[in-house]
A and B are shown apart, each in its own frame.
Chain A
Amino acid sequence: MITEVDFLRPAWLALMPLAILPLWARSTEAIAYPDVGWLPEDRLGRLIGLALRVLSALAIAAVVLALAAPGRPQSMALRTGRGAEVLLLIDRSRSMDERMLPSDWRELSPYDIRHQTESRGPVKSQAARKLLGEFVARRPDDRFAVSFFSASTLHVVPFTQHDEVVQAGITAGGVHRGLSETDVGRALISSVARFENRAYTGSRIILLVSDGGARLDEDTRLAIRAGFERQRVALYWIYLKGFGRPDLEQAGEASEAIPEVALHRFFETLPTPYRAYQAESPEDLAAAVEDVGRQQNHPLDFEELIPRQDYSRHIIVTALLLVATLLAAGRWQLRSLR
């Protein structure tokens, strides 16, 4: 394996010539003595002296190196873990600013529910954002991408491992009210295309969070079906059912006219796995998010970002050992001189 080395503060390397100082001091010394012939030869002493000079040269070199902070640059390594590639496709239409049933709705009288929902139920988009944020935080092995949709699709965060960026995308979805229109068909087509040109690594999911349906035309249906089949993407729809909004499981031919039901029935014909979660209250929503988390735990090959590893500490320890050796040698020399 080739190990690359980079420096955080390479400019300090310019001080490296200082390392020859101890050696140079020796040679200057030699010049100061034109005639040493009258001295008895002390080869051992000279060798020890040379060794000590080399050691101090090394110590200087090590400190200069530590100043330059060498390290192994950030790299990628292939790992197999459990998890999925999840694209969060979040509705940013105005209706997402409406409220859901309050937590204690079962205790309310049927006459009160509407009023209570409208006055103190949690706002759909807020509740969804909070839970999605927690979901992302709990799943460090997953790759997440964040996209919003209204009349257009806004791909905000491409697939990333960086939790903070995903959270920032989810947070941004809560700044101010939503936009007026929605085009879920176009959003799905362009979202499924986000998986194109990515290595197929295990499980791919589009987690659609929206509160409305749509009757899609035949071309759009074909494009969606083809996209899901080609990219092998599973679809999970968290349907934030507002108060008095239609139930997805309504039977009968007539309910085909209801956009939500029509969309649900179309999704059921997709060749890839599909699940719908109807969430009427924050508890339903939490249960749905929990369930999505359980569904997708297939082995996933992914590239893990290995942060830069700094070698400075090792080098400082080396320098410290050299200094300690020099100190010990100095003491030993002094003692032997006495």
Chain B
Amino acid sequence: MTRPRSRDSERLLLAGGLLVLALSMPPLPWPRASFDYLAVFDITQSMGVADYRQHGRPLSRLAFARHAMALALAELPCGSKLGLAAFTGYRSLTLLAPVEVCDHYGDLLSTLDQIDDRMRWAEASEVAKGLYWALRAARDVGGEPQLLFFSDGHESPPLQGAVPAPFGDIRPGEIRGLVIGTGGDVARPIPKQDAPGHFSGVWQADEVIQRTNAVQHEEHLSALREGHLQALAARTGLDYVRLEGVAGLSRAMRSSARARVRDVPTDFAWVALGLALAMLCATPLGTLFSRRAGTASIQQQA
């Protein structure tokens, strides 16, 4: 008669011990995958072409890239880091060194939100050099982030010969990351801005530098120059993805190949709590099952 009771109180004692453990347990370092990125956004005028759509409304390349980044940011595991930079003219400029994404989610969103035309400090769009500068930025900003380079690949002035070679201090494959092709396949007119934020029509064929040897003069129109970006990516040891939807970017960013495993202080109190719960439920469950089996019914009545 005392046997099941003493077993009950053993379980209770164990449950109590597990609860004490849950209370006293410090967070333990546990290896977890996280992702560190420096995201560089092309802020040249061709990124103002609205060839994306969101909720049925046209959205510019830059706005869509920012939108996709903001959503992907929310899906990065805590412990990941994101830094931000912008490209225009011939170089990329670091705006924010990488910071942890969960603690600083709100700040990252508000900085991201400000990366737009108003920042543009130069009007050219030398994408190849911009990418090389972006690689330098990822290398020198500290914390060894991987690179995310959002661009439509539209070079202005157009490349008249070969693609410029990477800077001597950049070794292909040293910095890993993604070139993210942003834009559509159809060449569209580029909204013209007199001053940042002031739009006046679109660029005309005779207002931009055209290719000297081209049959058709189309440098005033802009489509995603995927071939150019893919070649640049291959040359610098980066991977290429095309920005089509929000989910795709987030998935590419969380690919296990890009993960960095670091020990993150992790709370394991739930394990002790779960075991304590099992101990507490074992007694009534045991009663139920033994009742089903039709044994030990008299014992319980005592």
**Binary A-proximity of B114-131 (CB < 8 A = 1, otherwise 0):** 100011111000000000
Are the C-beta atoms of A324 and B16 separated by less than 8 Å? yes
Contact residue among A29, A320, A337 (Cβ-Cβ distance under 8 Å from B23): A320
CA gap between A337 and B112 in the complex, in Å: 71
Among residues of B, the one whose C-beta sits closest to the C-beta of A171 is B97
Q: Is B287 on the interface with A (CB-CB < 8 A)? A: yes
Does B71 make an interface contact (CB < 8 A)?
Answer: no
Q: Which positions 223-267 of chain B face chain A at CB distance < 8 Å?
A: none
User: In the complex where A29-B287, A66-B273, A313-B23 touch, is A165 in contact with B141 (Cβ < 8 A)?
Assistant: no
Point out the residues of chain A lying under 8 angstroms from B16, CB to CB: 320, 323-324, 327
Q: Given A153-B118, A330-B5, are A165 and B107 also a contact pair (CB < 8 Å)?
A: yes
Q: Tell me whether B177 is interfacial, beta carbon within 8 Å.
A: no
List, in ascending order, chain B residues with CB within 8 A of A21's CB: 281, 284-285, 288
Report A152-193 residues with CB < 8 Å from chain B CB.
Answer: 152-158, 160, 162, 164-165, 167-169, 171-172, 175-176, 179, 181, 190
Q: Can you name the residue of chain B whose Cβ is closest to the Cβ of A318?
A: B19
From B9, B96, B97, B122, A331 is in contact (CB under 8 Å) with B9
Chain B interface main SS type:
helix
Say yes or no: A162-B97 contact (C-beta < 8 A), given A9-B270, A63-B280, A327-B13: no
Chain A residue with minimal CB distance to B108?
A165
Bound-complex Cα distance A313 to B20 (A)? 10
**Which of B98-106, B178-186, B198-206 interfaces with chain A?**
B98-106
Q: Is the CB of B19 within 8 A of A327?
A: no
Interface centre among A28, A29, A323 (most CB of B within 10 A): A323
Residue total for A at the interface (Cβ-Cβ under 8 A): 59
| Complex contacts, B13 vs chain A, CB 8 Å | 327
- A9-67 interface (Cβ within 8 A of B): 9, 12, 15, 18, 21-22, 24-25, 28-29, 32-33, 56, 59-60, 63-64, 66-67
Q: Are B23 and A162 in contact (CB under 8 A)?
A: no
Determine whether the beta carbon of B273 is less than 8 Å from that of A176: no
Inter-chain contact A323/B12, CB cutoff 8 Å: yes
Q: Once the chains bind, are B277 and A67 in contact (CB under 8 Å)?
A: yes
Q: Is A222 an interface residue (CB 8 A)?
A: no
A290 to chain B, nearest CB (A): 25
Closest to B12 in A: A327
Kindly list chain A residues whose C-beta atoms are within 8 Å of the C-beta of B23: 313, 316-317, 320
Chain B residues positioned under 8 Å from A87 (CB to CB): none
B269 within 8 A of A: yes
Q: Is B276 an interface residue (CB 8 A)?
A: yes
Chain B residues with CB under 8 Å of A59's CB are 15, 280
Check if B64 is an interface residue, CB within 8 A of chain A.
no
User: Of residues 94 to 147 in A, which have CB atoms within 8 Å of B's CB atoms?
Assistant: none
**With the chains together, A165 CA to B13 CA distance in Å?**
48
User: A258 contacts the other chain (Cβ, under 8 Å)?
Assistant: no
> Are A152 and B119 in contact, CB atoms less than 8 angstroms apart?
yes
Q: Which of A12, A158, A320, A337 has the most CB of B within 10 A?
A: A320
Contact of B122 among A151, A168, A326 (CB under 8 A): A151
* Cα-based distance from A24 to B95 in the complex (angstroms): 62
- Chain A residues with CB under 8 Å of B273's CB are 63, 66-67, 316
Q: Quote the shortest CB–CB distance from B169 to chain A (angstroms).
A: 12
A83 nearest CB across to chain B (Å): 18
Q: Which residue of B lies closest to A12 (CB)?
A: B270
Closest Cβ–Cβ distance, residue A171 to chain B (whole Å): 4
**Other-chain contact of B291, A29, A190, A323, A330 (Cβ < 8 Å):** A29
Q: Are A164 and B121 in contact (CB under 8 A)?
A: no
**Distance in Å: Cβ of A133 to nearest Cβ of chain B:** 11
Cα distance A319–B300 when bound, in Å? 25
- Report the Cα distance A190→B118, complex, angstroms: 10
A32-B297, A156-B111, A172-B96 known; A25 and B288 CB under 8 Å? yes
Contact yes or no, B281 A18, CB < 8 A? yes
Nearest chain A CB to B227 CB, angstrom units = 29
Interface positions of B from 175 to 216, Cβ below 8 Å from A: 196
CB of A152 within 8 A of CB of B121, answer yes
The 10 closest A-B pairs by CB, nearest first: A21-B284, A175-B94, A171-B97, A168-B97, A25-B284, A172-B94, A25-B287, A165-B107, A152-B121, A323-B16
Which positions in A face B, CB cutoff 8 Å?
Answer: 9, 12, 15, 18, 21-22, 24-25, 28-29, 32-33, 56, 59-60, 63-64, 66-67, 92, 148, 150-158, 160, 162, 164-165, 167-169, 171-172, 175-176, 179, 181, 190, 312-313, 316-317, 319-320, 323-324, 326-327, 330-331, 333-334, 337
12 contacts between A and B (CB under 8 A): A12-B270, A18-B277, A28-B291, A33-B297, A56-B280, A59-B15, A67-B273, A164-B99, A169-B96, A172-B141, A316-B19, A330-B9
